[in-house]
Amino acid sequence: MEFGVEHYAIDYFANRGYRRRRCKSCGKYFWTIVERETCGEAPCEPYTFIGSPPVSRPYSLQEMRRAFLGFFESKGHKVIAPYPVVPRWRKDLYLVSASIVDFQPHVTSGSVEPPANPLVVSQPCIRMVDIDKVGATLGRHLTIFEMGGAHAFNFPDREVYWKDRTVELCVEFMGGLGLREEDTVFKEGVWAGGGNAGPCYEVIHSGLEIATLVFMNYRTLNGVLEELPVRTVDTGYGIERFTWLAQGTPSAFQVIYSGILDRVSELIDIPNPDEELFIRYARYSAWIQPTSSLSLADARRKAAALAGVDLERLQPVLERLEQFYKILDHTKSIVFILADGVVPSNSKVGYLARLLVRKTQRILELLGRKDMLPELAALQIDYWGRDFPRLLEMRDEILELITYEVKKFNESIVRGLAQLERELAAVSKSGREIDAEYVARIYEERGLTPDLVVSTAKKLGIKAPAMEEVEERMISRHIESPAKEKEDERLVEAAQLTKDLPKTEKLYYSDPYAAKFTATVLASTPKIVVLDRTLFYPEGGGQVGDTGVLRWRGLEARVTDTQIVDGVIVHFIEGDQPPVGEVVWGEIDYGRRLSVMRHHTATHILIGAARRVLGRHAWQMGAKKEAESARLDISHHAPLSRDEILKIERLANEVVSERRPVKISWLPRSVAEDRYGFTLYQGGEAPLGQVRVVEIEGWDAEACGGTHCANTAEVGFVKILKVERIQDGVVRLVYAAGPAAHRYVSESTIELESRLETVEEEIRQLKLGYGRLIEYYQETVLKEFEQASTSPQQLERIERVVADLAARIWFYSKSYQKEELLGSTRLIFDFRPVTNVTYFASMAREAVKHNSPAAGLISGRLKTGMLIAAGVNRQLSRHGLSPRSVAERLGAGKIRYIDDEVVVFEVAEKDVRTIYNDFKRLIENLQPSEA
RNA sequence: GGGCCGGUAGAUCAGCGGUAGAUCGCCCGGUUUGCACCCGGGAGGUCGAGGGUUCAAUUCCCUCCCGGUCCA
């Protein structure tokens, strides 16, 4: 795309004596007052401002921002607050990459009034495209920067200003800073983005492009330019670059991050470069344009050669410095993105956040500072929070997300490395080598960066490819074909039918509780009916379309679904077909609609609750509201705990019982955004200039086109049925509201109760079974052995084995009566019929077989008193409670068995409770000395 | 949204048309009065789900589900 000279030759230039020249170095055209051979932009010429700034004084970034906003304000521009960096109001972009994005596409296409005209904003912008160049170019490339945008929107009937005034304002602003017009060059260029395009001037001073003045008056449609009714002045002043120019430091990072520079360099231990050498090198740093054909190392060498600097001396410091700059830049981006409620994940904008975290974390690891990211982020939050308070509001959420993401990354690396090492061990054994293809594949499959793979290979003595080769390989692997979207056949048919029909009047907005209406048929087929007006809500915003009936002259069509195509509402029918022109009676399935409305309002209540419980990073990622249940997908990094789910549910039901009114209002976009903030766009892109705001008083406000209850009380009751993680960074709540919720609760209660009964019965049977098993062994098996004339020693041994087995079953089936915790001691108690002494001893032993203090008391009634088996394990006897002392203190008569953990004895006492309480007291009186 | 990789014992993984394996953990025994000690034995698997090809599928093909990862 190119524009002819007529697009650039303006009166202002003619009056001021500018001439058009062609740069002998880059071949581009430019406008200048004084005679010059090149355009002056580096690398056609070096940076001249480094070491000798042309601005009258060393403005700080904050001062420069103020100066910029103040100047344009004084020229009739209204200052507006910056927008978020995540443009939730459009779905074609992940990040705000320029100030004009704030106003696309609705303002620039003319369908929406701008918030002010002309206006000025200092908009934080994020661009990921140059991420690998950040640092090496000493600040010319950044992932995050502030674009000073001065915008004027010229409507056919209302001209604000156009090219001449734009250039005049630019020259005047620069003049105020002490930048001479004679040293300024206006370079011709073309700008295109966001579906718009136009000619532009790049404003060059001292070698640096510091502003771009775009005159956006075209729309690009399939590669063809079409003139726009609204001509937009889109100027972008690089606030960071102006500040860099004002201070003339070797790198822009020194001015952008001046407030935290020292602290960060101390934290990650970055040495200071030789100032004089660094300045000389920096002047030529614009030659560093690493591309696939010129590696970073070569580019750096070239710049050093031109500057006459000995790279050997500068290089080691330079590399650390570039990493330092990357860290500064990336952490700022991370903090801004997360502040807008992005959760790192593996798709969409979440992936960009993840990419930034991982790239930064990788550098920190190389520097031996792998735990430092949260601390660095905290510094950035506190520093930038002065200018952008939302960072401070989101401080805790941001730091938690970063900590969590770093942890996930580490786990992924550990896993990946273990696997890689196994694989490489096999390679090493076979004496093979690895190639660039292999390294690139490992990166794509497991996220192990090429440097990690290569260094691991070298460690194992495997020959690995050079990094350049790998990078080339990775670029060539990314030739992909765009995917096609599937289209709903029914809607294709509907689109044919509705092409020339007027937009349908939406009766459901005037009264969401109405059920009956009359309308005239505008078009019909055996499957589709279009009316001039309707109460049937078409599917949209996650709310299902209405069903119902249409009646006329004794005939009837059942409406099975309702959709909307370009403003025309389409009823899908079964049954008779109404003729065009017929007046029909319509009636929606009222109960179904009411239930859907409850679910829809419940969704808004729940998103408010989720944001309060989980944090403000929780955004609605999708939703579906039906008659029986609804679901809501929210962005959140971790699985929800039981506690969090209960809290969300409880809060939601509180809002229901508080009977909050649900208010609906149509507001101009900018007014709505001003009043409610950008959390309005929970439901995604809002298509209209006027925004329909659904507000639950004091709880939640969203741009939404759905039908809602008039009061939260009508929702009745909200029950969360299921919570699942449907994707990395997204959890789904499934819930029901009102009668549907009650149905679920009562049905599931009945089911639970019957299942509980079954389980209880099963447990009873099992215990009975165990009892029988034990009896069987003790009575039958032992008798068998006795009769088989087994020797007494063998018999004793067998008795012991059987008793141990029975005791184990007893213990693991928890067949005992009671389990108690006395301090740190676990006490197991049971009362059983007396079978034999060995079995009692085995049970006591089993009860105390733990590493923590444990005691057991098994009692059984004898004719003369009781048989007691007491167990105290080593952890207890260490504190002075030995089996023998227990026997003595409990008044033992005849001791039947004793070892170092267990004693079995008879007592005359007949009351179980007395013995149990005595035993408890013995344990409680021990000096508790925790290990 | 798309591409690529993976899903086998409680954990980490090997096997890749013909009777399912290793290491750690677990249980038992021995050794040892303190340990991530040592020795011996044992339990534990619908080989993610469904369909197809085949005499035979964990293995090959298709669909789906789940996890990972890269790119927009």
Q: Per mean pLDDT, which range of A135-139, A594-598, A810-814, A926-930 is the poorest? A: A926-930
Residue pair A239/A145 in contact (Cβ under 8 Å)? The answer is yes
Which position has the higher pLDDT, A298 or A305? A305
Residue A851: which CATH number? 3.10.310.40
Q: Which nucleotide C1' is nearest A485 CA?
A: B1
Q: Which nucleotide C1' is nearest A808 CA?
A: B27
CA A129 to C1' B7 (Å) is 35
Can you tell me the distance from the alpha carbon of A269 to that of A365, in angstroms, rounded to the nearest whole number? 13
Q: Same domain for A663 and A679?
A: yes
pLDDT band per the 50, 70, 90 thresholds, residue A834: confident
Q: Same domain for A131 and A224?
A: yes
CA torsion, ordered A396, A399, A402, A406, to nearest 10 deg: -120
Q: Which long-range contacts does A475-478 make (Cβ < 8 Å, 24+ apart)?
A: A475/A292, A477/A440, A477/A444
CA A810 to C1' B27 (Å) is 17
CA A232 to C1' B46 (Å) is 66
Q: Which nucleotide C1' is nearest A345 CA?
A: B69
Task: Flag whether A286 is in a domain.
Answer: no
Mean pLDDT over A720-736 rounds to 86
Residues 6+ apart with CB under 8 A from A457: A424, A434, A463, A464
- What are the pLDDT digits (tens) for A50-70? 999 999 999 999 999 999 999
Buried-state track A334-350, b at ≥16 Cβ within 10 A, e below 16: bbbbbbbbbbbbeeebb
CA A445 to C1' B56 (Å) is 34
For strand B, give the nucleotides within 7 A of a protein CB. 1-5, 12-14, 66-72
CA A686 to C1' B9 (Å) is 52
CA A427 to C1' B54 (Å) is 34
Domain limits at A650?
Answer: 594-744
Q: Same domain for A739 and A821?
A: no
Which among A588, A614, A642 is the end of a domain?
Answer: A588
Q: Same domain for A206 and A171?
A: yes
Which position has the higher pLDDT, A689 or A666? A666
pLDDT of residue A780: 65
Task: Flag whether A331 is in a domain.
Answer: no
pLDDT of residue A121: 96
Can you tell me the distance from the alpha carbon of A359 to that of A405, in angstroms, rounded to the nearest whole number? 12
> CA angle at residue A874 from A871 to A878, to 5 degrees?
115
pLDDT band per the 50, 70, 90 thresholds, residue A484: very low
Q: Which of A657, A642, A542, A663 is nearest to A599 (CA)?
A: A542
pLDDT of residue A790: 63
- Residue A892 vs residues A203, A578, A843, A905, A922: alpha-carbon distances, Å: 102, 98, 19, 6, 15
CA A726 to C1' B50 (Å) is 21
Q: Which of A245-249, A671-675, A719-723, A770-774 has the highest mean pLDDT?
A: A245-249
Residue pair A827/A855 in contact (Cβ under 8 Å)? The answer is yes
pLDDT of residue A482: 39
CA A567 to C1' B64 (Å) is 36
Q: Which nucleotide C1' is nearest A418 CA?
A: B12
CA A482 to C1' B1 (Å) is 9
Total of domains in chain A: 5
Q: Determine the residue type at A63.
A: E
pLDDT of residue A657: 96
CA A772 to C1' B56 (Å) is 46
- Residue A864 vs residues A168, A503, A906, A910: alpha-carbon distances, Å: 115, 98, 9, 8
For tokens 């201070």, what's the residue?
A247
Kindly give the pairing relationship between strand A196-205 and strand A184-193.
antiparallel
pLDDT of residue A206: 95
pLDDT of residue A766: 66
Residue A602: which CATH number? 3.30.980.10
- What are the pLDDT digits (tens) for A533-562? 999 999 888 899 999 999 999 999 999 999
Q: Same domain for A125 and A183?
A: yes
CA A851 to C1' B38 (Å) is 22
Identify protein residues whose C-beta is within 7 angstroms of any atom in strand B.
Answer: A 128, 346-348, 351, 354-355, 358, 408-409, 412, 415, 418-419, 422, 441, 443-447, 478, 480, 483, 725-728
Q: Which nucleotide C1' is nearest A408 CA?
A: B68
The mean of the pLDDT values for chain A is: 87
Task: Flag whether A788 is in a domain.
Answer: no
Task: Flag whether A582 is in a domain.
Answer: yes
Residue A191: which CATH number? 3.30.930.10
Q: Is the pLDDT score of A352 beyond 60?
A: yes
Mean pLDDT over A302-314 rounds to 87
Q: What percent of chain A has pLDDT over 70?
A: 91
Can you tell me the distance from the alpha carbon of A798 to that of A544, in angstroms, rounded to the nearest whole number? 72
Q: Which nucleotide C1' is nearest A346 CA?
A: B69
Task: Flag whether A919 is in a domain.
Answer: yes
Q: Which nucleotide C1' is nearest A478 CA?
A: B71
pLDDT band per the 50, 70, 90 thresholds, residue A782: low
- Residue A661 vs residues A488, A603, A711: alpha-carbon distances, Å: 38, 15, 4
CA A410 to C1' B11 (Å) is 18
Distance of CA A46 to the CA centre of its chain: 42
Which among A202, A221, A253 is the end of a domain?
Answer: A253
**Dihedral class, residue A604 (left if φ above 0, else alpha if ψ from -120 to 50, else beta):** alpha
pLDDT of residue A426: 79
Task: Flag whether A641 is in a domain.
Answer: yes
Q: Same domain for A604 and A696?
A: yes
pLDDT of residue A898: 83
CA A276 to C1' B64 (Å) is 65
Q: Is the pLDDT score of A481 beyond 60?
A: no
Can you tell me the distance from the alpha carbon of A7 to that of A114, in angstroms, rounded to the nearest whole number? 26
Which among A588, A619, A645 is the end of a domain?
Answer: A588
Q: Determine the residue type at A592.
A: R
Residues 6+ apart with CB under 8 A from A30: A20, A21, A22, A23, A39, A40, A185, A186, A187, A188, A204
Q: Which nucleotide C1' is nearest A129 CA?
A: B72
Helices within A268-310 (DSSP H only): 275-283, 296-307
CA A734 to C1' B41 (Å) is 51
Can you tell me the distance from the alpha carbon of A674 to that of A671, in angstroms, rounded to the nearest whole number? 5
pLDDT of residue A721: 86
Residue pair A286/A244 in contact (Cβ under 8 Å)? The answer is no
Q: Same domain for A736 and A885?
A: no
Q: Which nucleotide C1' is nearest A481 CA?
A: B2
Secondary structure (3-state) at A905: strand
Residues 6+ apart with CB under 8 A from A524: A530, A577, A578, A579, A580
Residues 6+ apart with CB under 8 A from A658: A712
- What are the pLDDT digits (tens) for A616-639? 999 998 888 988 889 999 999 887
Distance of CA A807 to the CA centre of its chain: 53
Q: Is the pLDDT score of A483 beyond 50?
A: no
CA torsion, ordered A305, A310, A312, A316, to nearest 10 deg: -90
Q: Which nucleotide C1' is nearest A350 CA?
A: B72
Mean pLDDT over A638-645 rounds to 83
pLDDT of residue A204: 97
Can you tell me the distance from the alpha carbon of A771 to that of A759, in angstroms, rounded to the nearest whole number? 18
CA A571 to C1' B17 (Å) is 55
Q: Same domain for A17 and A150?
A: yes
Q: Same domain for A583 and A598?
A: no
Q: Which nucleotide C1' is nearest A355 CA?
A: B70
Which pair of tokens denotes residue A407? 């942890």
Residue pair A97/A145 in contact (Cβ under 8 Å)? The answer is no
pLDDT band per the 50, 70, 90 thresholds, residue A683: confident
pLDDT band per the 50, 70, 90 thresholds, residue A687: low
Can you tell me the distance from the alpha carbon of A820 to that of A828, in angstroms, rounded to the nearest whole number? 7
CA A639 to C1' B11 (Å) is 21
CA A445 to C1' B6 (Å) is 9
Can you tell me the distance from the alpha carbon of A652 to that of A604, in angstroms, rounded to the nearest whole number? 9
pLDDT of residue A663: 96
Can you tell me the distance from the alpha carbon of A794 to that of A815, in angstroms, rounded to the nearest whole number? 29
Q: Which of A873, A860, A863 is nearest to A904 (CA)?
A: A860
Counting Cβ atoms within 10 Å, is residue A470 exposed (0-12), middle (13-18) or buried (19+)?
buried
Residue pair A287/A306 in contact (Cβ under 8 Å)? The answer is yes
Secondary structure (3-state) at A369: coil
Residue pair A427/A434 in contact (Cβ under 8 Å)? The answer is yes
Q: Is the pLDDT score of A16 beyond 70?
A: yes
Can you tell me the distance from the alpha carbon of A739 to that of A596, in angstroms, rounded to the nearest whole number? 11
pLDDT band per the 50, 70, 90 thresholds, residue A298: confident
Residue pair A367/A323 in contact (Cβ under 8 Å)? The answer is yes
Q: Which of A515, A517, A531 is nearest to A579 (CA)?
A: A531
Q: Is the pLDDT score of A929 beyond 50?
A: no
Q: Per mean pLDDT, which range of A96-105, A308-317, A747-756 is the poorest? A: A747-756
pLDDT band per the 50, 70, 90 thresholds, residue A424: confident
Residue pair A506/A531 in contact (Cβ under 8 Å)? The answer is no
Q: Per mean pLDDT, which range of A193-202, A779-788, A831-840 is the poorest? A: A779-788
Which position has the higher pLDDT, A880 or A339? A339
Q: Which nucleotide C1' is nearest A874 CA?
A: B33
Query: What angle do helix axes A275-283 and A296-307 make, rounded to 10 degrees?
Result: 110
Q: Same domain for A433 and A532?
A: no
Which position has the higher pLDDT, A921 or A791? A921
Q: Same domain for A620 and A669?
A: yes
Task: Flag whether A599 is in a domain.
Answer: yes
Q: What is the DSSP-derived secondary structure letter of residue A198?
A: E
Q: Which of A585, A497, A499 is nearest to A534 (CA)?
A: A585
Mean pLDDT over A442-467 rounds to 87
Residue pair A90/A678 in contact (Cβ under 8 Å)? The answer is no
Q: What share of chain A is helix, strand, coil (3-state, %, to 5)?
A: 45, 25, 35
CA A426 to C1' B22 (Å) is 16
Residue A537: which CATH number? 2.40.30.130
Which position has the higher pLDDT, A204 or A299? A204
Secondary structure (3-state) at A898: strand
Nearest residue to nucleotide B3, by CA–C1' distance, is A480
Q: Which nucleotide C1' is nearest A349 CA?
A: B72
Task: Flag whether A875 is in a domain.
Answer: yes
Mean pLDDT over A744-766 rounds to 77
Here the ipTM equals 0.86
Q: What percent of chain A has pLDDT over 90?
A: 49
CA A711 to C1' B37 (Å) is 71
Residue pair A807/A848 in contact (Cβ under 8 Å)? The answer is no
Which pair of tokens denotes residue A792? 């007494």
Q: Is the pLDDT score of A890 beyond 90?
A: no
Buried-state track A165-192, b at ≥16 Cβ within 10 A, e below 16: bbbbbbbebbeebebebebbbbbbbebe
pLDDT of residue A177: 97
Q: Is the pLDDT score of A17 beyond 90?
A: yes
Q: Which nucleotide C1' is nearest A445 CA?
A: B69
Q: Which nucleotide C1' is nearest A415 CA?
A: B12
Q: Which of A349, A286, A295 is nearest to A466 (CA)?
A: A295
CA A443 to C1' B11 (Å) is 25
Q: Same domain for A836 and A723?
A: no
